């Protein structure tokens, strides 16, 4: 055991390093998550990957390792929408909770998961607290029309520990990408994921294709999965890994800009969200479009599942 043979491959600098195979990446991260390696090896792995960058095959392997170790949510009666929330708010109000509540109002079960990774940003957990939605303390089903916020440490304690390595070394590592694409739900579900830089859009899209994911991918707001309330971003769909463009980028700001709160603290953000949900303020156009596309994708997932079930029944020996 040990990961030194892998570090020799990925740790030779930006130009000399090579990508691991999917199987090798799964073995490497599996050992890291299982606590089978030293802190020195974990630090070497994190720094090597930060310098080299993550290839899609590697991310698919890392994701395989994570999915083998997740505490999964039971399936719901309707496809669950998964909203990772890890970046938080710095300059703009954090509207991931608004997206979650809008989707729940449409009758969908919505899972938001996250954990503090930075101390200087407003987090989803703080906004949910201000809205009266408490973090779950145990894994349990999320009913249609309900929002559940689950800390990462409940889903995978080892992944939470890997995220916390950033506090020691000051740099992100593959765990920060993995939490944005992992799927902690049994049954039909849709992962909404975002990127901050164009190069991540390419690698994340390829990873979704490799793992045959059901997902919506967009450039979010400060790293969050909610569309920027001031702009219309590109949004791509993945259904069993098959990729399609649903919304093209619209250059510039939107014609009608929402009256966002000037402060980004949790209380101000929660007050704005409550005002939108009560109909006193309009839903920002880009977020309304995101909700519309998610509903379309969920409908597609339901249709695909029904068609698959019909096909299996028709081909059954009885």
pLDDT at 1: 66
Looking at the structure, do residues 293 and 171 belong to the same domain, yes or no?
yes
Q: What pLDDT score does 2 carry? A: 82
59 in the same domain as 107:
no
Task: Provide the domain limits for residue 32.
Answer: 4-67
Instruction: Tell me the two tokens of residue 156.
Output: 């995978």
Q: 36 and 174: one domain? A: no
Does residue 283 share a domain with residue 209?
Answer: yes
Task: Please state, in angstroms and as integers, the Cα–Cα distance from residue 176 to each residue in 152, 191, 287, following that order.
Answer: 12, 15, 24
Q: State whether 30 and 107 are in the same domain.
A: no
Q: Could you tell me which residues come within 8 angstroms of residue 44 by beta carbon, excluding any fewer than 6 positions away?
A: 7, 11
How many domains are there within the chain? 2
Domain CATH for 168? 3.40.1030.10
Burial code of 120-133, b = ≥16 C-beta within 10 A, e = fewer? ebbbbbbbbbbbeb
Q: Average pLDDT of each block of 10 consecutive residues along the chain (318 residues)?
A: 90 89 97 95 94 95 98 94 95 96 98 88 95 96 96 97 90 94 96 90 95 96 94 96 94 83 95 97 96 97 63 39
Q: Single out the residue in 67, 90, 110 at which a domain terminates.
A: 67
> How far apart are alpha carbons 105 and 263 in whole angstroms?
26
CATH number of the CATH domain containing 12:
1.20.970.10
Angstrom distance (rounded) from CA 117 to CA 265 = 17
Query: Do 173 and 140 fall into the same domain?
Result: yes
Asked whether residue 137 falls in the same domain as residue 184, the answer is yes
Look up tokens 């793992």; give the residue. 211
Do 228 and 272 lie in a common domain? yes
Identify whether 228 is part of a domain: yes
Residues 47 and 99 reside in one and the same domain: no
């Amino acid at each position: 055991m040990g990961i030194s043979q892998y570090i020799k491959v990925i740790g030779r600098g930006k130009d000399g390093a090579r990508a691991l195979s999917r199987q090798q990446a799964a073995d490497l991260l599996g050992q890291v998550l299982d606590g089978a390696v030293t802190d020195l090896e974990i630090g070497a792995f994190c720094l090597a990957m930060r310098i080299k960058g993550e290839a899609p095959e590697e991310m698919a392997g890392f994701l395989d390792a994570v999915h083998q170790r997740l505490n999964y949510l039971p399936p719901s009666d309707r496809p669950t929408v998964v909203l990772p929330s890890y970046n938080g708010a710095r300059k703009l109000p954090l509207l991931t909770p608004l997206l979650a509540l809008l989707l729940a109002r449409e009758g969908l079960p919505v899972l938001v998961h996250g954990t503090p990774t930075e101390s200087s940003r407003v987090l989803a957990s703080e906004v949910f607290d201000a809205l009266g939605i408490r973090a779950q303390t145990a894994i349990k089903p999320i009913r249609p029309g309900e929002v559940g916020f689950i800390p990462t440490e409940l889903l995978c304690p080892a992944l939470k520990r890997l995220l916390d390595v950033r506090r020691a070394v000051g740099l992100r590592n593959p765990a920060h990408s993995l939490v944005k694409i992992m799927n902690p739900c049994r049954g039909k579900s849709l992962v909404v994921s975002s990127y901050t830089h164009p190069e991540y859009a390419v690698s994340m899209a390829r990873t979704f294709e490799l793992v045959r994911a059901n997902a919506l991918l967009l450039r979010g707001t400060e790293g969050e999965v909610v569309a920027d309330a001031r702009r219309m971003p590109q949004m791509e769909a993945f259904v069993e890994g098959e990729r399609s463009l649903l919304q093209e980028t619209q250059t510039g700001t939107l014609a009608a800009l929402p009256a966002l709160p000037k402060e980004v603290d949790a209380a101000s953000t929660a007050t704005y969200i409550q005002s939108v949900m009560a109909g006193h303020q309009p839903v920002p156009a880009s977020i309304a479009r995101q909700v519309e596309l998610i509903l379309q994708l969920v409908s597609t997932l339901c249709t695909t599942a029904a068609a698959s079930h019909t096909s299996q029944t028709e081909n059954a020996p009885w």
